[in-house]
């Protein structure tokens, strides 16, 4: 069986799911390893660095008196969060839960899991951190071979999937116990971790008085404040049909932009079908609907990350209904469907510019 892995975030260190139109992050530090770059004293205080965490190179760039301290601290924080939550690291808190070598999680991990529970409920289960046994069976995140599980195998695996298959009990000393009711249930916060980490990076920048920053964690972009010339950041959203290009640009400040798309990671199987890394928790199969990508634009990184995954699972019409009816969450979005139409919510309609030939429809 021939499998093709397409994960441009791994293969091209500087390729971004969202292209940054007005700032070239390729000029940002080194591609790996973490050497930073700083302006000489007295010049615009700018500092940038690329760190490797969460399986991708992450570009951090900030301007301000404490730019260096802020970026260095953010880089360490990203690696710390990775070591806490990585599903592929048996020593992480999530890794230990899944291997049943530990059942205690810190207050911070509890926050991420509780947020995941909340977003799972709000999205009617489309976001589901217990989908991991299914994700693994298809070969995603295992580092092994991609494969198409049989229907019987999927049916069996789905019996271990469900947000009701674990309970959390806070122990009072900033930790909690996780108890699984099913021996094979596992957790994977991978679809929200980068967003959570983005929130932390933003907070760290804030604590260092940084009012202009731009970071890229794969499909997660953080914009802080405006550019130093006073204009807004213009972030380009990847063309899912041609991922080396972008198809729409959005002008923003102080926003998190998170894109989920099948083009980010997939394999082509012998049956001629392209199987992607985002699973429909109802079917136990890779999402195969009318959407090519979902971009969420929000004030909250973790929410944006979970929502981009969940609304991708839901499909175009259900995602639009969700945006119209969900009163608990405030966000804008760009959906790109399989015939190339871009659906842009009204809040960002005026600040979005199509850069190709795809038609745009405004959602009110």
Q: Which residues here bind ligand AMP, judged by CB under 6 A?
A: 127-129, 131, 135, 140-141, 188, 190-191, 219, 260, 277-279, 281, 305, 308-309, 313
Per-residue CA distances from 78 to 49, 53, 86, 193, 203 (Å): 12, 6, 11, 10, 12
Q: How many CB atoms lie within 10 A of CB 218?
A: 23
Which residue from 7, 275, 302, 283 is spatially nearest to 131, judged by alpha carbons?
283
Residue 58 beta carbon to ligand AMP: minimum distance, rounded to whole angstroms: 14
Q: Which residues contact 261 (CB under 8 A, 6 or more apart)?
A: 17, 219, 238, 240, 292, 293, 294, 312, 336
Closer residue to ligand AMP in complex, CB, 22/88:
88
Q: Is 120 in the site for Mg ion (CB under 5 A)?
A: no
Judged by beta carbon distances under 5 to 8 A according to partner kind, the member of ligand AMP, Mg ion, none in contact with residue 277 is ligand AMP
Residue 258 beta carbon to Mg ion: minimum distance, rounded to whole angstroms: 6
Which residue from 166, 163, 176 is spatially nearest to 131, judged by alpha carbons?
163
Residue 204 beta carbon to ligand AMP: minimum distance, rounded to whole angstroms: 22
Give CA–CA dist 94/143, Å, rounded.
18
- The window from 113-121, 303-311, 318-326, 348-356 that contacts Mg ion (CB under 5 A) reads 303-311
Closer residue to ligand AMP in complex, CB, 195/236:
195
Closer residue to ligand AMP in complex, CB, 305/337:
305
Closer residue to ligand AMP in complex, CB, 188/239:
188
| The two structure tokens encoding residue 321 | 């209904």
Residue 103 beta carbon to ligand AMP: minimum distance, rounded to whole angstroms: 22
Closer residue to ligand AMP in complex, CB, 279/344:
279
Residue 7 beta carbon to Mg ion: minimum distance, rounded to whole angstroms: 15
Residue 277 beta carbon to ligand AMP: minimum distance, rounded to whole angstroms: 4
Three-class SS state of 88? coil
Which residue from 67, 83, 340, 92 is spatially nearest to 210, judged by alpha carbons?
67
Q: Is 309 in the site for Mg ion (CB under 5 A)?
A: yes
Give CA–CA dist 246/82, Å, rounded.
29
Closer residue to ligand AMP in complex, CB, 224/277:
277
- The window from 6-14, 114-122, 146-154, 298-306 that contacts Mg ion (CB under 5 A) reads 298-306
Three-class SS state of 360? strand
Residues 168-207 that bind Mg ion (CB under 5 A): 191
Give CA–CA dist 300/59, Å, rounded.
19
Binding site for Mg ion (CB under 5 A): 191, 305, 308-309
């Amino acid at each position: 069986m021939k499998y093709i892995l397409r994960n441009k975030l791994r293969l091209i260190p500087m390729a971004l799911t969202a292209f940054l139109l007005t700032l070239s992050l390729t000029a940002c530090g080194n591609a790996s390893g973490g050497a930073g770059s700083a302006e000489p004293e007295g010049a615009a205080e700018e500092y940038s660095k690329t760190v490797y965490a969460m399986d991708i190179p992450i570009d951090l760039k900030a301007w301000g008196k404490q730019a260096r301290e802020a970026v260095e601290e953010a880089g360490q924080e990203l690696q710390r969060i990775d070591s806490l939550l990585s599903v592929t690291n048996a020593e992480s808190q999530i890794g230990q839960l899944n291997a049943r070598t530990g059942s205690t999680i810190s207050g911070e991990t509890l926050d991420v899991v509780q947020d995941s529970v909340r977003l799972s409920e709000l999205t009617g289960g489309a976001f589901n951190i217990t989908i991991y046994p299914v994700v693994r069976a298809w070969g995603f995140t295992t580092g092994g071979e991609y494969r198409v599980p049989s229907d019987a195998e999927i049916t069996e695996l789905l019996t271990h999937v469900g947000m009701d298959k674990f309970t959390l009990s806070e122990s009072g000393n900033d930790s909690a116990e996780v108890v699984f009711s099913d021996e094979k249930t596992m957790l994977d916060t991978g679809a929200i971790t980068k967003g959570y980490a983005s929130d932390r990076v933003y907070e760290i920048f804030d604590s260092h008085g940084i009012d202009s920053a731009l970071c890229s964690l794969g499909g997660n972009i953080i914009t802080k404040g405006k550019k130093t010339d006073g204009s807004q950041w213009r972030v380009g959203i990847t063309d899912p049909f041609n991922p080396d290009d972008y198809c729409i640009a959005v002008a923003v400040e102080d926003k998190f932009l998170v894109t989920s798309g099948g083009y980010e990671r997939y394999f082509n199987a012998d049956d001629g079908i392209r199987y992607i890394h985002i699973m429909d928790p109802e079917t136990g199969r890779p999402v195969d609907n009318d959407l090519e990508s979902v971009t969420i634009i929000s004030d909250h990184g973790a929410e944006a990350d979970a929502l981009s995954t969940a609304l991708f699972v839901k499909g175009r019409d259900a995602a639009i209904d969700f945006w119209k009816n969900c009163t608990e969450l405030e966000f804008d979005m760009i959906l790109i469907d399989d015939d190339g139409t871009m659906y842009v919510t009204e809040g960002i309609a005026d600040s979005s510019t199509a850069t190709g030939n795809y038609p745009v429809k405004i959602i009110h």
